[in-house]
Amino acid sequence: MTHPSAELARYVSELDIESIPQPVLRRAEELLLDTLASILAGSHGRPVLSIAAYARAMGPAEGPAQDMAARRGTSPVFAAMVNAAATHMVEQDDVHNGSVFHPAAVVFPPAIATAQALGRSGRDLLAATVAGYEAGIRIGEFLGRTHYTIFHTTGTAGTLAAAVATGRLLGLDPAQMLHALGSAGTQAAGLWEFLRDGADSKQLHTAKAAADGMMAAWLARDGFTGASRILEGPQGMAAGMSRDADPARLTDGLGTRWALLETSFKYHASCRHTHPAADALLALVTEHDLHIEDIGDVVAHVHQGAIDVLGPVVDPVSVHQSKFCMGVVLGLIARHRRAGLPEFDEALSDPAIADFRQRVSMRLDPEIDAAYPRRWIGKVTVRTRDGRSLESRVDTPKGDPDNTLSRAEIEDKALRLGCYQGAATQEEVARLIAQVWGLADCERVGWFL
Amino acid sequence: MTHPSAELARYVSELDIESIPQPVLRRAEELLLDTLASILAGSHGRPVLSIAAYARAMGPAEGPAQDMAARRGTSPVFAAMVNAAATHMVEQDDVHNGSVFHPAAVVFPPAIATAQALGRSGRDLLAATVAGYEAGIRIGEFLGRTHYTIFHTTGTAGTLAAAVATGRLLGLDPAQMLHALGSAGTQAAGLWEFLRDGADSKQLHTAKAAADGMMAAWLARDGFTGASRILEGPQGMAAGMSRDADPARLTDGLGTRWALLETSFKYHASCRHTHPAADALLALVTEHDLHIEDIGDVVAHVHQGAIDVLGPVVDPVSVHQSKFCMGVVLGLIARHRRAGLPEFDEALSDPAIADFRQRVSMRLDPEIDAAYPRRWIGKVTVRTRDGRSLESRVDTPKGDPDNTLSRAEIEDKALRLGCYQGAATQEEVARLIAQVWGLADCERVGWFL
């Protein structure tokens, strides 16, 4: 079989770690640390605690995989489910611009849980991570922009990414891997409708993508079969859930292009769609030394996807929802020159932010929209109280591959996230950092913390 | 809130068993027996055994809910998952014509598991069943025919039906029930692509609909929120997965129309889309006393949905796939005047069937297509070897509400299914029958068998 799904399955099944360039493996370690820290920061979130309670009610009381939120052992699927819910809770995990997909939240939790349960090596975990990223990102790109207008790609493409990462650690051959893709794709789900209510579904989407993809891979190892063309077939994902799917994207540059290197670290603690404008405003207020009271109104010039996702959030009532509100995000930048976790915790009770966000609007910008999703350009126009009209533009948001974080910055971010709301101590996070930087030499992936 | 999703949630939350007509409750018992027998008949299926092995690997080793396939206790979600996979395995569970939806497979397993785990009464289980049927069928009708061309409605609408049935037993109030619908709808999945390969996804779809719907309800009880308009909202299920959704169907006749009474029992052990033509051919060969060797070729006149689902199955290689092959089904009728489980087990090794199915074709019939899905009309044209052209027509397939099975016929079917491949003894099935007929007086739903 030579169709795109089969080619992709063969590639990720046969990928040899020796063929993966060193910078890709090092970036995979950095992404792992960013993920573990995100899990800690998210572990106290109410939706995460609900999912953890469900795991406790339905899963075994102990097991070989680590539920990092509850710091207990359980079976791999419940560890993956809870950790994936936690990863995405505080919106600080990574994003791939071209596919508008958050790979870490759905790749690492099932890969870690499976590696722990089977006693696989650090190198095996890194190879599985790379396989999951390379497949998931291409599947997200394949599904296209029309898919993303309704479906949460991290939930849908994420189910297949989780299956690939898990399948690598289970040693699936190409045929089994194709079955795993089939069983994952037919479970793929996640709708944006929840944003209108500020509901908890985002945590459910990452939790279920991780768990369902894992199930697909475990079933495939046992001989359970799936559709061979779940992605591009006439009754497959693209047929049902996209109008601009491009099968060529599924195998784009396999073996030469490393999509994992294209992911961005999140710098602000908000939806990625707010970051370009936030960076542009940060540059502007810094350059002109403006304070929140100096600003009359702000127009954020954005791509259509930002309007689709952020547009429904007109009156945020929760911390989580406020991370999807352009007005709150720009308000925090104007007020604190930061939009981190502590700033968001105070945002909704701050009258200055409530006032400011009424004066922020989004406007579709043809140039930005045409460049998206390959490039996420940020532009803002600020009218000051004293009558000036100022403009600012950022071509590459902070954290993007061309403007990435150093290992020191990543460690600093990990410390801030890991210690958020007392999830871990500074000493624990320091040990975690050392453990991750030494992962490639680790014979068996043990528990973290 | 008065939109259709909220109305539906309120109705199923507040439904009083005293308001449910006795014939509806009695039919619910009959459907329960049909389901338990289907579980037994399907419990040896390879895909079911894979899912049962997964449940064993990931779930607790014991628990208050009964995995009937393995005859062991486990947590509710794994019991629901395995039993739902088994229910649909031999294609003998019920179907609702208007929504092309198999309610039993996704309603009973999570309801039984939850009732067992919480020690609820037989009446509670019956009320939960009715609630699950009334909601799930209306949601299937709402999603419409365009949905069904790509998506397996039993997987998608089934997730919400499972949430409703579970939510009733958890005592969800209307607001919680609406959250459960939101969390269920955003997990809803299931693509027909697997049919092209004869893959195992159908069991995965029912297993996951039952398990995911249950999760949605349990999370809602814990305060986990979902989209309030997951069905009809601008980024909800209809927006993403249908082009002809009709919100009025969601609340059609609530409280006066009992959709549960509209479901059909399956008489032949094959995909429901083959039944009208099979009944028409059975009438024809009986009337004209034809044997398989007398028949030259057969044209089955069908609705478009039959072509969509059965059309891809041109060369069946498994027993399961042969149940989706019009040629095999009509071949069994011509040869045995029966298309039950034992006949299907022998079909693929029978050269007479292999020869016959090459001479069967399907043709779209405008009258049948216009009547579908409200009515499933069967028409066949047979050309005999001796040159006659014969026609036959059936307006109501056997097992439909207007041509239903008696309790004696249902007991007989239960005995045949329950004892299939030695799943249970005749004595066990006889006790099961008595247990189900006495369910309404049962203070606590115990284990079956």
For the stretch B304-326, pLDDT in tens is 999 999 998 888 999 889 999 99
Which helix (H) or strand (E) segment holds residue A205: the answer is: helix A201-221
> Mean of the pLDDT values across residues B173-196?
97
Q: How far is A57 from chain B (nearest CA, A)?
A: 8
* Pairs of residues, one from chain A and one from chain B, whose beta carbons lie less than 8 Å apart: 206
Tell me whether B230 touches chain A (CB under 8 Å): yes
Ordered by start, the domain boundaries in chain B are 4-266+409-441, 272-394
At residue B301, the 3 state secondary structure works out as strand
Alpha-helical runs (H) found in B259-378: 275-287, 304-310, 319-322, 326-336, 341-347, 351-357, 366-371
Integer angstrom CA distances of residue A70 from A35, A82, A93, A207, A427: 16, 9, 20, 15, 19
Tell me whether A325 touches chain B (CB under 8 Å): no
| Tokens representing residue A382 in the block | 């600020």
Write the residue in A182, A194, A312 that is nearest to B186 by C-beta.
A194
Write the residue in A58, A76, A205 that is nearest to B75 by C-beta.
A58
Q: How far is B318 from chain A (nearest CA, A)?
A: 12
By the 8 A CB rule, do A140 and A100 touch?
A: yes
Report the residue of B204, B242, B304, B314 to disrupt the A interface, i.e. the one with the largest count of A CBs within 10 Å: B204
CATH 1.10.4100.10, domain A4-266+409-441, yes or no: yes
**CATH code matching the domain that covers B272-394, chosen among 1.10.3720.10, 2.60.40.1760, 3.40.50.970, 3.30.1330.120:** 3.30.1330.120
Q: How far is B212 from chain A (nearest CA, A)?
A: 9
For residues A154 and A93, what is the distance between their CA atoms, to the nearest angstrom?
A: 12
For residues A121 and A116, what is the distance between their CA atoms, to the nearest angstrom?
A: 9
| Tokens representing residue A188 in the block | 């793929």
More confident residue, B32 or A409: B32
Per-residue pLDDT of B260-288, as tens digits, reads 999 999 989 999 899 999 999 999 999 99
Say what the pLDDT of residue A1 is.
61
Per-residue pLDDT of A190-209, as tens digits, reads 999 999 998 999 999 999 99
Residues of chain A with pLDDT under 70: 1
Find out whether the peptide bond into B366 is cis, omega within 30 degrees of 0. no
Say what the pLDDT of residue A449 is.
84
> In terms of C-beta density within 10 A (0-12 exposed, 13-18 middle, 19 or more buried), how is residue A426 classed?
exposed
Write the residue in A77, A198, A227 that is nearest to B199 by C-beta.
A227
Say what the pLDDT of residue B33 is.
98
Degrees, nearest 5: CA angle B421-B48-A119:
135
Say what the pLDDT of residue A91 is.
87
> Mean of the pLDDT values across residues B8-35?
98
Contact (CB<8Å) A186/B196? no
Residue-averaged pLDDT of chain B: 96
- pLDDT-above-70 percentage for chain B: 100
Say what the pLDDT of residue B1 is.
61
* Cβ neighbours, 10 Å, residue A446: 12
Write the residue in A149, A187, A200 that is nearest to B225 by C-beta.
A200
Tell me whether B189 touches chain A (CB under 8 Å): yes
Per-residue pLDDT of B233-256, as tens digits, reads 999 999 999 999 999 999 999 999
* Cβ neighbours, 10 Å, residue A404: 17
CA A133 from centroid of its chain's CA atoms: 11
Q: How far is B74 from chain A (nearest CA, A)?
A: 9
Say what the pLDDT of residue B139 is.
98
Chain B contact set for A185 (CB, 8 A): 191, 193
For residues A76 and A63, what is the distance between their CA atoms, to the nearest angstrom?
A: 8
Residue B342 in this model has a pLDDT that exceeds 90:
no
Contact (CB<8Å) A186/B190? yes
For residues B154 and B34, what is the distance between their CA atoms, to the nearest angstrom?
A: 17
Which helix (H) or strand (E) segment holds residue A11: the answer is: helix A4-14
Strands A263-264, A95-96: pairing is antiparallel
Q: How far is B293 from chain A (nearest CA, A)?
A: 36
Per-residue pLDDT of A43-58, as tens digits, reads 999 999 999 999 999 9
Tell me whether B145 touches chain A (CB under 8 Å): no
| Tokens representing residue A275 in the block | 């970051």
ipTM of the complex: 0.90
B257 pLDDT band (50/70/90 cuts)? very high
Write the residue in A186, A222, A233 that is nearest to B205 by C-beta.
A186
For residues B120 and B353, what is the distance between their CA atoms, to the nearest angstrom?
A: 49
For residues B442 and B435, what is the distance between their CA atoms, to the nearest angstrom?
A: 9
Tell me whether B240 touches chain A (CB under 8 Å): yes
Contact (CB<8Å) B235/A192? yes
Tell me whether A195 touches chain B (CB under 8 Å): yes
Write the residue in B54, B192, B222 that is nearest to A235 by C-beta.
B192
